[in-house]
Amino acid sequence: MNAADALKVLVIGGGGREHAIAWKLAASPRVAEVFLAPGNAGTASEPKCRNLPIAAEDLDALLDFAEEQDVDLTVVGPEAPLALGIADMFEAAGRRIVGPRRRAAEIESSKVYAKTFMERHRIPTARFEIASSEERALSVLAAWQGAPIVIKADGLAAGKGVIIAHDRAEAEMAVRHLFGGGLGVPVQRVVIEEFLEGEEASVIVLAAEERFLVLPSSQDHKRRDEADHGPNTGGMGAYSPAPVITPEIEAKIRERIIAPTLAGLNAGRRRFRGFLYAGLMITPSGEPYVLEFNARLGDPEAQALMLRLKSDLAEALLALCDDRLEGLELAWDERASVAVVLAAQGYPGTPRKGDAIEGLEGVEEEGLKIFHAGTIRSEDGRVLSNGGRILSVAALGENITAARERAYRRLAQIRCEGAFYRRDIGWRALVRETAVPLAGSAE
């Protein structure tokens, strides 16, 4: 690699998703160094990687660093910097960045905008009503037919702003909770939404305006407890591919959801460039409906996907930024992947911090990786818990059963006081026998 090919890359964020992205970028022969702002204890130990004392929301400091170091490519992991307009700032400065501008990122940062956008563009989604006050929300609920009822806070809530109420009384409690500041600050608006029956799955695409490249399907596990009980979280585990996404259903998702969404954003001068995540409900009849959009890679879906990716991620993201997405193909490991999250006591509420994490040492096996999230390194060199989701163990296997067995075997060797994990990640896939072909051709 000569000096002209030595790329400097900046990854914004410090979670498991960002560890996975940085790990895969560092594997590129073209990449000389990966900076993470702020990163975690795991990224600090990765070859070619260096953590920075810069918060993911400190946009001015991030741009200053990129300018001073002449960073060649920036990848945004979490949603908050996108909602604040980091892509607008970097593009105005002539810097490559993977992530949509603020107005396009509103497809995630405002559930009200997302739902009204889908209604305008006839993108399949659950019926809904919007309420701008507690009184209005309670009035809507008084006339609402059917249960369960989904209550969504408008705005970013780290995956915790969605409440599934099993009856009207529970829905009223959820409304009072959200308008009363249950998420830390009172919400201004809520979406009251029909509950859809079926199986959830995620389809993520790498998009440049109306052109897109479909990544393999995946399935997240949002609820904290086994059998999908307990409160919503940022995600307790994921696997890929998701057998519920058959080739026929994927074709519907491309034609009825991804293509019209990107066309609608572009027509509304909200040019989208980056990862577009569609959180879907697949009904028993095989119809896909949008539950939510994200303007970035999912977490922990990213950990499962990056473990399967065989192509050079840096080359793919450079192609995206330089309008060379047409004709690009990505190679994926034919094996399945499963990622299981280890969470701190108290998550998703107030997580316990500062506990030593043991059992991380040892040579990692091929096709198995520990991705850190809420971790820091103490002055005496120990790795300590420092967030709700501490880490995830991701593994490849010939099928979901084999992959999850590898992941759980390794996770059982890790110890952290009070920490817990779900023991049923991938349970839906275990009852299916069909495999899902891998996607990877540009539209």
- The full DSSP string for 272-338 is -EEEEEEEEEE-TTS-EEEEEEESS--TTHHHHHHHHB-S-HHHHHHHHHTT--TT-B--B-SSEEE
Q: How many CA atoms lie within 13 A of 186 on its CB side?
A: 7
Residue 96's pLDDT is 98
Q: Which regions in the chain score pLDDT beneath 70?
A: 1-4, 158-160, 432-443
Residue 4's pLDDT is 55
Of 101, 362, 336, 341, nearest to 239 by C-alpha is 336
Of 438, 211, 421, nearest to 311 by C-alpha is 438
**Backbone phi, psi, residue 200, to 5°:** -80, 150
If you classify domain 8-99 with CATH, what class do you get? alpha beta
* DSSP strand pairing (190-194 vs 128-131): antiparallel
Q: How far apart are CA 238 and CA 401, in angstroms?
A: 13
CB atoms within 10 A of CB 272: 25
Of 357, 346, 370, nearest to 414 by C-alpha is 357
Decide if 46 contacts 22 (C-beta within 8 A).
yes
Q: What CATH fold (topology level) applies to the domain 199-430?
A: D-amino Acid Aminotransferase; Chain A, domain 1 (3.30.470)
Q: State the DSSP H helix or E strand holding residue 104, giving kind and residue range, or none if neither.
A: helix 102-109
CB atoms within 10 A of CB 404: 26
CATH 3.40.50.20, the chain: domain bounds:
8-99
Residue 422's pLDDT is 98
What angle (nearest 5°) sits at the alpha carbon of residue 212, between those of residues 110 and 20? 75
Residue 440's pLDDT is 39
If you classify domain 127-194 with CATH, what class do you get? alpha beta
CATH 3.30.1490.20, the chain: domain bounds:
127-194
Q: How far apart are CA 191 and CA 356, in angstroms?
A: 40
CA–chain centroid gap for 238, Å, is 10
Note the maximum CA span of the chain: 68
The model's pLDDT over 214-263, given as tens digits with 9 standing for 90+, comes to: 999 999 999 999 999 998 899 999 999 999 999 999 999 999 999 999 99
Q: State the DSSP H helix or E strand holding residue 362, giving kind and residue range, or none if neither.
A: none
Query: For the residues of 239-268, what is the DSSP string, one character each?
Result: EES-TTS-HHHHHHHIIIIIHHHHHHHHHT
The contacts of residue 280 (CB under 8 Å, 6+ apart) are: 200, 201, 202, 203, 253, 257, 288, 289, 290, 291
Report the predicted TM-score, pTM, of the whole model to 2 decimal places. Answer: 0.93
The contacts of residue 101 (CB under 8 Å, 6+ apart) are: 85, 87, 88, 91, 270, 271, 273
CB atoms within 10 A of CB 214: 21
CATH 3.30.470.20, the chain: domain bounds:
199-430
